[in-house]
Amino acid sequence: MRNFDEFTITDAVMERLKDARDARTHQISAALVRHLHAFIREVEPTFAEWEAGIDFLTRTGHFCDDKRQEFILLSDTLGVSMLVDAINHRGAGASTETTVLGPFFVQDAPECEHGADISGGIAGEPLLISGTVCGSDDKPLPGAVVDIWHSDSDGYYDVQQLDEIGDLAMRARLRTDAHGRFRCWSIKPAAYPIPHDGPVGQMLEAQGRHPWRPAHVHFMIWAARHEKLVTHIFAAGDRYLDSDVVFGVKDSLIGAFVEKPPGGAEDGRVLERPYWHLHHDFRLRLDTADAALAADRLPA
């Protein structure tokens, strides 16, 4: 087969996929080719534009290292991450809604005691983070693993400033107590622009978009026999709730950062300055597909 033109090239590529190693590889490859060709046919790029596309992808790849994932930022800002999230959480019902993982999750965050201060000494306004975790039957889930991570008051995560601060901070792994409760102290996070000094930042600028996300705290919660929950709680009243650059905000995920006067906090700690309190109750979804495997997935 040869002599392909703009009309026959797509079928030619399809024909080459007939010996794909499995049906799923064939399905994904064929769909990719059809949609990619349809995109090219619609926009009819010049050679200079094709070269610019190759260059954009190349620079996006070169921006990726162990501290920066520019392709996840691209997926997030094009709405792809939230679309994949939505497709994978159909019929979530009464369980807590999900949102994007984002590029700042770290495997194996430091394990902390109930009530610990996880701020790592980073300056900021004190924030008490507390919550409960229950199952779909509303019963508390003791021993659930709760990963928490958030930015500092300038909007930067620990991994973006490791050279200066020397260690992970504003990040921890807790376990719920016998009543399904967890609690820790940290500092109040701020709204922040996603890293925009790379190709994705240039894309946003060309598209006339700001790079900001509303202030939020990330949660990843794992419990035996339940689906892993990946979500944020966003700060009520934030100016970017309706224009989150990664399309992640849902009403059910907006929580009050309640300002409290100096004095004794709920957990007995005495503060000499005002502090903030964020409380949220999380409800996990039963992993009907693979309950046994879900238990295995729980970190040791």
Within 137-166, which residues bind a copy of itself (CB under 8 A)?
none
Q: Stretches 59-67, 135-143, 149-157, 286-294: which one binds a copy of itself (CB under 8 A)?
A: 59-67
Q: Which of 64, 87, 36, 101 is nearest to 248 (CA)?
A: 101
The interface mask with a copy of itself, positions 74-113, x = CB under 8 A, is: -x--xxxxxxx-xxx-x-----------------------
Residue choice 104, 185, 212, 247 for contact with a copy of itself (CB under 8 A): 247
Q: Tokens at residue 158, please?
A: 């620990």
Rule CB under 8 A: is residue 208 a binding residue for a copy of itself? Answer: yes
Rule CB under 8 A: is residue 288 a binding residue for a copy of itself? Answer: no
292 burial via Cβ count (<10 Å: 0-12, 13-18, 19+) = exposed
Q: Stretches 104-112, 190-198, 243-251, 270-278: which one binds a copy of itself (CB under 8 A)?
A: 243-251
The answer to whether 109 touches 260, Cβ cutoff 8 Å, is: no
Residue choice 111, 166, 243, 262 for contact with a copy of itself (CB under 8 A): 243
Q: Tokens at residue 278, please?
A: 């964020």
Rule CB under 8 A: is residue 273 a binding residue for a copy of itself? Answer: no
Residue choice 23, 39, 257, 289 for contact with a copy of itself (CB under 8 A): 39
Phi, psi of 283 (to 5 degrees): -125, 115
User: Residue 245 carries which DSSP code?
Assistant: T
Residue choice 207, 268, 270, 289 for contact with a copy of itself (CB under 8 A): 207
**For the CA atoms of the chain, what is the radius of gyration?**
23
The answer to whether 130 touches 117, Cβ cutoff 8 Å, is: no
Q: Which of 24, 18, 111, 68 is nearest to 299 (CA)?
A: 111
Within 3-22, which residues bind a copy of itself (CB under 8 A)?
3-6, 9-10, 12-13, 16-21
Of residues 46 and 163, the one with the C-beta less far from a copy of itself: 46
The answer to whether 124 touches 154, Cβ cutoff 8 Å, is: no
Closest distance to a copy of itself from the beta carbon of 156 (Å): 23
